[in-house]
Structure 1
Amino acid sequence: MRVRGISWVGVKTDSYQQMRAFFTGVVGVPVAYERPDFAVFQFPSGDKLEIFGPGATDPPEQFAVEKVVASLLVDDIDAAIEELRQAGAELIGHKSSGGDGYFWQHFRAPDGKVFELVCDPHHP
């Protein structure tokens, strides 16, 4: 598997408004997309930070163990999923699509923490 980097970090928080204000005001990252209790911040590199407040709709497995989840950017998600499967990694749920060629797959690392693979054809 060839991982190009970490392209996404998701954070589940009970302090949504404070976290949103921190990342826009202090860190200076613009909000690329927002809905109630959820915001996507996009860095100039194309990497994303998503903040999930208590009322946000997020996949239940995503934050079941940890409140911070990182994604590993890959070119070929199907091949990467197969490599995880062959290595005995626990895949969580099914490969999902955000549309426009964006796919993700959650998995459990050997220590039980949840990560995800992501294929994002629009990431620079």
Structure 2
Amino acid sequence: MEITGLGWSGTRTDRAEALAHFYEHVLELRLVHTEPHFWVFRLPDGNHVEVFGRQFPGKEHFTTGPVVGFTVTDLPQATRQLREAGVELLGEPGPTWQHFRGPDGNVYELVSEVQHS
């Protein structure tokens, strides 16, 4: 598995609106998508920081605080390596990500490299 950097961060919180406001108005991150209980911010390098309200479906496994995504060059191969190592995979894989539980009990993610245009 080749890790090339940190490629994503997501937080599920009861204070999602306050966190989204902080990201946009204090950290001055660029809001690129929003829907009820969900905000996506784009960083200058093209990677995303996402905020999920507790009511947003599909992220119930985000229970340990912010989830960090490790960028990999080959997501299917890296996912196979996690599976072969006996790592607990969480949720359904997405087209560019796979969540997993680390040995410390926290939730992490593998994410495909951002394709810059």
TM-score, normalised to structure 2, is 0.88
Amino acid at match of 2:3: V
What is aligned with 1:105?
Answer: 98
In 2, are the aligned partners of 1:52 and 1:58 still within 8 Å (CA)? Answer: no
Q: How does 1:1-124 map to 2 (within 5 A)?
A: 1-61=1-61, 63=62, 65-97=63-95, 103-122=96-115
Same amino acid, percent of matched pairs? 36
Instruction: Report the CA distance between 1:123 and its aligned residue.
Output: 5.2
Instruction: Report the CA distance between 1:108 and its aligned residue.
Output: 1.2
Q: Name the stretch that deviates more: 23-32 or 9-18.
A: 9-18
Amino acid at match of 1:91: L
How many Å separate the matches in 2 of 1:121 and 1:107?
20
Q: Which runs of 5+ in 1 are unaligned?
A: 98-102
In 1, are the aligned partners of 2:68 and 2:108 still within 8 Å (CA)? Answer: yes
In 1, are the aligned partners of 2:2 and 2:73 still within 8 Å (CA)? Answer: yes
In 1, are the aligned partners of 2:13 and 2:52 still within 8 Å (CA)? Answer: yes
Q: Which runs of 5+ in 2 are unaligned?
A: none
Amino acid at match of 2:64: E
- Per-residue CA deviations over 1:24-74 (Å, capped at 9, x if unaligned) read 11111110110011100101111211011132223322x1x3121111111
Partner SS for 1:95: coil
Runs of 4+ in 1 over 4 A off after TM superposition: none
What is the CA RMSD across the aligned residues, in angstroms?
1.7
Give the count of matched residue pairs.
117
